[in-house]
Chain A
Amino acid sequence: MSQSTHLDQVTIRFAGDSGDGMQLTGTQFTNTTAMVGNDLSTLPDYPAEIRAPAGTLFGVSGFQLQFSSHEIHTPGDQVDVLVAMNPAALKVNLQHLRDNGIIIANADAFSLRNLKLAGYEQNPLEDGSLEGFQLFSVPITRLTREALVEVAISSKDKDRSKNFFALGITYWMFSRPLEVTLKWIEEKFAGKPELIEANKKALNAGYSYALATEVFTTTYTVEKAKTTPGKYRKITGNEAVSLGLIVAAEKAGRPLFLGGYPITPASDILHNLAKYRHYDVKTFQAEDEIAGVGSAIGASYSGALGVTASSGPGIALKSEFIGYAVMTEIPLVVINVQRGGPSTGLPTKTEQADLFQAFYGRNGEAPLPIVAAKSPADCFQTALEAAHMAIKFATPVFLLTDGYLANGAEPWLIPDVADIPEIKEPLAVSGKEYLPYKRDPKTLARTMAVPGTEGLEHRLGGLEKEDLTGNVSYDPENHHNMVRLRQKKVEKVAGFIPPPDFSGEEQGVLLIVSWGSTFGTVFSAVEEARKQGRQVSWIHLRWINPLPEMLGKLIHNFKHVLVPEINAGQLVKIIRAEYLVDARGFDRVRGLPLQTHELVEEISSYFEE
Chain B
Amino acid sequence: MNTIETLEQKEKKYTKEDFTSDQEVRWCPGCGDYSILAQMRRLLPELGVKKENVVFVSGIGCSSRFPYYMDTYGLHGIHGRAPALASGIKLANPDLTVFVITGDGDALSIGGNHFIHLCRRNIDVTVLLFNNRIYGLTKGQYSPTSERGKITKSSPYGSLEEPFNPVKMALAAGATFVARSMDRDPKHLEATLLEAARHKGTSFVEIYQNCNIFNDGAFEKYTNIKTRFDNVVYLKNEQEYRFGRENDKHLFWDGHRFRVEEWKATEEPLTHNTDNLPVSMEFALAELSELEDFPVPVGVFRKRQAETYDALLTKQIEEVKKSKGQGDLQKLLESGNTWHVD
- Which of A's residues lie within 8 Å of B, judged by CB? 31, 34-35, 37, 180, 224, 227-234, 243, 246-247, 250, 255, 257, 259, 276-280, 282, 284, 286-288, 290-304, 306, 320-321, 324, 328, 414-417, 450-463, 471-472
Contact = CB atoms under 8 A, between A and B. Distances in A.
A316 to B, nearest CB: 15
B117 A232 contact: no
Q: Top 4 A-B pairs ranked by shortest CB distance? A: A298-B88, A294-B84, A461-B76, A295-B88
B320 A277 contact: yes
A257 B329 contact: no
B341 A320 contact: no
Contact of A452 (B2, B57, B317, B326): B2
A454 B50 contact: yes
Contacts of B73: 451, 457-459
Interface of B: 1-2, 21, 23, 50-55, 57, 67-68, 70-78, 81, 83-93, 95-96, 113-114, 117, 313, 316-317, 320-321, 324-327, 329-330, 332-342
Contacts of A453: 52
B68 A459 contact: yes
A321 B81 CA distance: 9
A288 B113 contact: yes
Nearest to A291: B84
A35 B75 CA distance: 51
Contact of B324 (A37, A278, A302, A324): A278
Contacts of B334: 231, 233, 414
Contacts of A456: 52
Nearest to A277: B320
Contact of B21 (A259, A280, A301, A459): A459
A452 B329 contact: no
Contacts of B113: 287-288, 291
A282 B91 contact: yes
Contacts of A295: 84-85, 87-88, 91
A304 B81 CA distance: 19
A34 B339 CA distance: 8
Contacts of A454: 50, 52
A417 B333 contact: yes
A280 B51 CA distance: 27
Contacts of A34: 337, 339
Contacts of B342: 229
A224 B333 CA distance: 23
Contacts of B55: 451
26 contacts: A35-B339, A228-B341, A229-B340, A229-B342, A230-B340, A234-B337, A257-B92, A278-B326, A280-B327, A282-B313, A286-B84, A286-B87, A287-B117, A290-B84, A291-B87, A298-B75, A298-B85, A304-B92, A454-B52, A457-B52, A458-B74, A459-B68, A462-B76, A463-B76, A472-B23, A472-B68
A299 B91 contact: yes
Contacts of B23: 459, 471-472
Given A247-B329, A279-B332, A414-B333, A232 B341 contact: yes
Nearest to A235: B336
A324 B75 CA distance: 11
Contacts of A297: 85, 88
A224 B83 CA distance: 54
B81 A451 contact: no
B contacts with A: majority SS = mixed
A454 B73 CA distance: 10
Given A230-B340, A282-B91, A294 B85 contact: yes
Contacts of A293: 84
Nearest to B73: A451
Contacts of A250: 329
B338 A414 contact: yes
A324 B77 contact: yes
Contact of A287 (B75, B114, B313, B332): B114
A452 B67 CA distance: 16
A417 to B, nearest CB: 4
Contacts of B90: 298
A398 to B, nearest CB: 19
Contacts of B50: 454
Nearest to A463: B76
A278 B320 contact: yes
A301 B82 CA distance: 13
The residue in B50, B84, B325, B341 that gathers the most chain A C-beta atoms within 10 A of its C-beta is B84
B74 A460 contact: yes
A324 B53 CA distance: 23
A166 B264 CA distance: 84
Given A230-B341, A294-B84, A324-B78, 17 more contacts: A231-B334, A233-B338, A234-B337, A246-B329, A246-B332, A278-B317, A278-B321, A279-B327, A290-B114, A292-B84, A294-B78, A298-B75, A298-B87, A301-B89, A452-B96, A459-B67, A472-B23
A374 to B, nearest CB: 20
Nearest to B320: A277
Contacts of A458: 73-74
A471 B279 CA distance: 46
Contacts of B70: 459
Contacts of B76: 459-463
Contacts of A231: 334, 338-340
Contacts of B51: 457
Contacts of A460: 74-76
Given A294-B77, A298-B57, A277 B321 contact: yes
A229 B52 CA distance: 52
Contacts of B74: 457-461
Nearest to B314: A282
B277 to A, nearest CB: 27
A303 B52 contact: no
B303 to A, nearest CB: 25
A587 to B, nearest CB: 35
A321 B78 contact: yes
B72 A457 contact: yes
Nearest to A287: B117
A415 B87 contact: no
A109 to B, nearest CB: 31
Name, among A297, A300, A321, A458, the residue most crowded by chain B CB atoms within 10 Å (CB to CB).
Answer: A297
Contacts of B72: 457
